[in-house]
A and B are shown apart, each in its own frame.
Chain A
Amino acid sequence: MSINQVLPFVSTAIMGYFTVWVLQRYAVRRAPQFLFWGIGLAMFAAGSFAEAFLSLAWNPWVFFVWYLFGAALNAAWIGHGTLYLLVRKRWVHAVTGVLIVGSLFAGYLMLQAMPKLDAASFTTSKPVSEQYGTKVLKDGETAPAGAQTATTTYRGKEVTVVRGLLPLGTPVRLTTPFFNIYGLLTLVGGAIYSAYLFWRKRVMPNRVIGNVLIAAGALFIGSASTLTRLGYGQFLYLGELLSAILMFAGFRFAARPQPDEVPQAIAAPAD
């Protein structure tokens, strides 16, 4: 096995442990943010495992898991946990409803796409992130080295495409940016905002550092995914691993009691 085949398995193991750690906290505290973080992290772990599997072999249902949980939903669900932590308003429950319905709809669209997958274009020599989408080549544009091309009719025009697993115009691909924008805003924005609040008040340095690490971890995977879509896929697996390590370290750091903290269970608000 190459290093690029080992790294996603390491990321999966870290995210799996991280997921169990967060869900254990939910079992004790029953605070909704832990539930949403746990679900989102479980999605991240499932997506990471699927990516590791797809570096060794093809399976359409593993691709289903990779796309739906790894590429589309996980950031939004983790970020929604952060929204529950930062905003204690009723409208957050309405957003939860939209997130659940939107996720189910994305799952339905992904099921619709399954019979249309172009499995013949799949190769284990590239990350799945580099080959899931079919791309139209513009006039004068050449296909990347080693890419498989085909001529097809799209919106009434004959076009040359770089073949990918999901055909052109697959509706589920339109849902992904919505989830990722929401996830970036709430997960990274929430962590930056939390770090700023504690920093401005000059308190809880552990939470300042913890939230900086969480934001950095989320940005690592966001940046690595974006670079992959732009054709620089060599950073993806390392980015995933660094993201898993930084986010886990951030959560542990932020939850760590400080030396001069005084236990006072009665006065603490239920969170």
Chain B
Amino acid sequence: MPNGNRMINKSHIPENSTFFEKIVPALLIFMGVLTVVLILFAAGVLLGIVHF
């Protein structure tokens, strides 16, 4: 995604951060699963399995 600024980035994810250690991985997994579900839904529509 955006990769625009032409700078060397030295910033790091903070140590022992609950947000980065627990919440971010959980969100990534949840969103990955939701993406797969939506793709399967769209594929089901394409194949005529899901009618709406």
Q: Which A residues contact B (CB, under 8 angstroms)?
A: 25, 29, 31, 33-34, 82, 85, 133, 135-136, 174, 177-178, 180-181, 184-185, 188-192, 194-196, 199, 202-212, 214-216, 219, 222-223, 226, 229-230, 250-251, 254-255, 257-265, 267-268, 271
Contact = CB atoms under 8 A, between A and B. Distances in A.
B7 A257 contact: yes
Contact of A268 (B6, B20, B24, B34): B6
Indicate the size class of the contact surface on chain B: 20 to 34
B16 interface: no
B8 A261 contact: yes
5 contacts: A181-B46, A192-B31, A204-B11, A260-B10, A264-B8
Contacts of A261: 5, 7-11
A184 B31 contact: no
Interface of B: 1-14, 20, 24-25, 27-28, 31-32, 34-35, 38-39, 41-43, 45-46, 51-52
Contacts of A216: 27, 31
A210 B28 CA distance: 12
B24 to A, nearest CB: 6
A214 B1 contact: yes
B13 A267 contact: no
B4 A268 contact: no
A223 B8 CA distance: 37
Contacts of B25: 199
Contact of B11 (A85, A135, A203, A210): A203
Contacts of B42: 177, 180-181, 184
Contact of A271 (B4, B12, B31, B38): B4
Contacts of B1: 82, 85, 190-191, 194, 207, 210-211, 214, 250-251, 254
Contacts of A206: 11
B52 A223 contact: no
Contacts of B13: 199, 202-203, 205, 208
